[in-house]
């Protein structure tokens, strides 16, 4: 287990290393600017055709691409930081993974259903949606607590990581403060 903790970065490939070691500017470009430009271009094309069916098919695709990038960033941070936690931590990485995977699956099912005009049971959809929201908030909590716990090398209390949680929540701004801290952890 200790060897796994010391070599956690070596187990990451491709985009995972990108998420953990890239500058805040590169991540901002990938997670904010590229989806915004993509959405603008696709919606311009869709609006020029004036086909409402096309709008409801393209919009979910755009949202899914953005969600996949964002959730994969969360997943990579959470799992990467978890292996750097001090011994004896009580954080449940399996529950963290489950919540993020659930959120992606829920989003895909919702967007496909929405895009193709499917009929859903809105009461059931509301419950699934609430759990997906919980999954995202749990991800914010997990990553925030894990980041500060790794930095302090002891399990952080809520007051220690509240500001980090807030910065992750408003990630377009927070990424500029958080990513240098993340790079520092994974370059050690």
User: What are the pLDDT digits (tens) for 147-181?
Assistant: 999 999 888 889 999 999 999 998 888 889 999 99
DSSP label at 22?
S
| Domain map (residue ranges) of the chain | 2-187
Q: What is the pLDDT of residues 93-108, one digit of tens each?
A: 999 999 999 998 888 8
Q: How far apart are CA 144 and CA 169, in angstroms?
A: 10
Question: Residue 50 contacts by C-beta under 8 Å, 6 or more apart in sequence?
Answer: none
Which of 7, 3, 16 lies closest to 76 in space, CA to CA?
16
> Helix count (H) and strand count (E) of the chain?
9, 0
C-alpha distance from residue 7 to each of 10, 82, 97, 114, 130 (Å) = 5, 12, 20, 43, 37
The better pLDDT of the pair 44, 1 is held by 44
């Amino acid at each position: 287990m200790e060897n796994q903790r010391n070599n956690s970065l070596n187990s990451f490939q491709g985009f995972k290393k990108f998420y953990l070691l890239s500058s805040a500017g590169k991540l901002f470009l990938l997670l904010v600017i590229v989806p915004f430009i993509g959405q603008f271009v696709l919606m311009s094309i869709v609006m020029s055709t004036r086909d409402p069916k096309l709008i409801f098919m393209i919009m979910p695709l755009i949202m899914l691409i953005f969600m996949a990038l964002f959730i994969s960033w969360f997943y990579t941070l959470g799992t990467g930081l978890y292996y750097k936690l001090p011994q004896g931590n009580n954080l449940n990485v399996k529950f963290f993974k489950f919540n993020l995977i659930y959120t992606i699956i829920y989003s895909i099912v919702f967007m496909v259903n929405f895009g193709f005009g499917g009929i859903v049971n809105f009461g059931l959809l509301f419950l699934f949606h609430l759990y997906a929201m919980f999954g995202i908030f749990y991800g914010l909590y997990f990553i925030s607590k894990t980041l500060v716990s790794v930095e302090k090398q002891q399990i952080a209390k809520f007051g220690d990581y509240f500001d980090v949680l807030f910065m992750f929540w408003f990630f377009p701004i927070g990424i500029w403060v958080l990513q240098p801290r993340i790079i520092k952890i994974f370059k050690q």
